[in-house]
Amino acid sequence: MDIVLLLLGIGLAVSGAHFLVDGGSAIAKHYNIPTLVIGSTIVAFGTSMPEFTVNINSALHGSTDLALGNVLGSNLFNICAVIGIVSLISPIAVGNDAATKDLPMALIAAAVVGISGNQIYFDQIKYHEIFMSSGLVMLFFFAIFMRYVYGEAAAASSHHGKAVKHGVAKTDDGETPHAMSKAAFYVLIGLAGLVFGGEFIVDGASGIAKGFGMSERVIGLVIVGPGTSFPELIASITAALRKDVGMVLGNVLGSNIFNIFFTLGATALIMPIPLDLALNTAVITNVAVTALLVVFVTLSKKRTLGRLMGGLLVAIYAGYIGYSLMS
């Protein structure tokens, strides 16, 4: 039954990703909004809904290891596996907004988790927990991020103007995108497929993992986190194959920011989240790989994530998974 759920979830995620990318791209083209903005809002939030659902349910049932492991495992999978695999398929050009705003914000989000959950090092008190106060700070950061995304979309629309004629926008290659009602329908269908698909993936993968005697922490980091991020991988590969890589980076960065500032922030409001040594290793790895991207993009003249960086990220993730399974 667990295998059936897993396969059904993958099928729903694949189908949902196609609809979501198609509808999101049409909306972006209609309003002349950069696909990075659509990726970091509609697509990123949609593909992050499985993480949010899993975390809230986990917190309500007191499974804090699973909740934090889910977020950390998801974010590591996004940065290393999703960006890495897509970079191997097609180079990702990093735009100015992503380089100066989205990437630094993703690094801040990763750092906030490490700082707020390590009071024993920073405040010399014997606590290793993310409390409600830290959750509130994360939610404030999320509000700031949303204000920035709104301003970015407004600026793009004002700068480029609406390329709309008789209610329909033309794409660069002369094709007509979906009508807005159809595009919105595609987005809704895509979100539904991704949310339910993510749930089935998590349930199936968790059932299989428990059959092998894995701990809740390992299940969160290695199974549930990547499982809830599988929609991001499918959506990003779909976008890359369509040469719409601008949505890929927006999707991953927006999703990671959403996972920490909103999902983890909301989870901490329900109950404190302990941060043990094994989970702290995931926190440090998350900060390190995000910082690696920031440094690379800052120092790189071309600002392009190619196959070399993609291979490095995939290798880092493979090493981290191996370490987690052995620890």
User: Per CATH, is 35-160+214-326 categorized as 3.10.310.30?
Assistant: no
CA atoms of 62 and 71, how far apart (whole Å): 16
Which DSSP letter does residue 315 get?
Answer: H
pLDDT tens for 240-252 read 787 776 667 877 8
Phi, psi of 304 (to 5 degrees): -125, 130
Helix (H, G, I), strand (E, B) or coil at 274: strand
pLDDT greater at residue 213 or residue 268: 268
Q: Tokens for 73?
A: 């495992």
User: E strands, 197-321, where?
Assistant: 273-274, 304-305
For the chain, state the CA radius of gyration. Answer: 19
Write down the pLDDT at residue 219.
Answer: 78
Contact between 184 and 25 under an 8 Å Cβ cutoff? The reply is no
CA atoms of 303 and 99, how far apart (whole Å): 8
Q: Please state, for a pLDDT cut of 70, what percent of the chain lies above it.
A: 82
Q: Tokens for 313?
A: 């990220």
The count of other CB atoms within 10 Å of the CB of residue 325 is: 11
Q: Tokens for 102?
A: 């989205």
Write down the pLDDT at residue 65.
Answer: 74
pLDDT tens for 139-164 read 999 999 888 777 766 666 566 555 44
pLDDT tens for 109-140 read 999 998 888 777 777 777 678 889 999 999 99
Q: Please, what's the largest Cα pairwise distance for the chain? A: 65
pTM of the predicted structure, to 2 decimals: 0.76
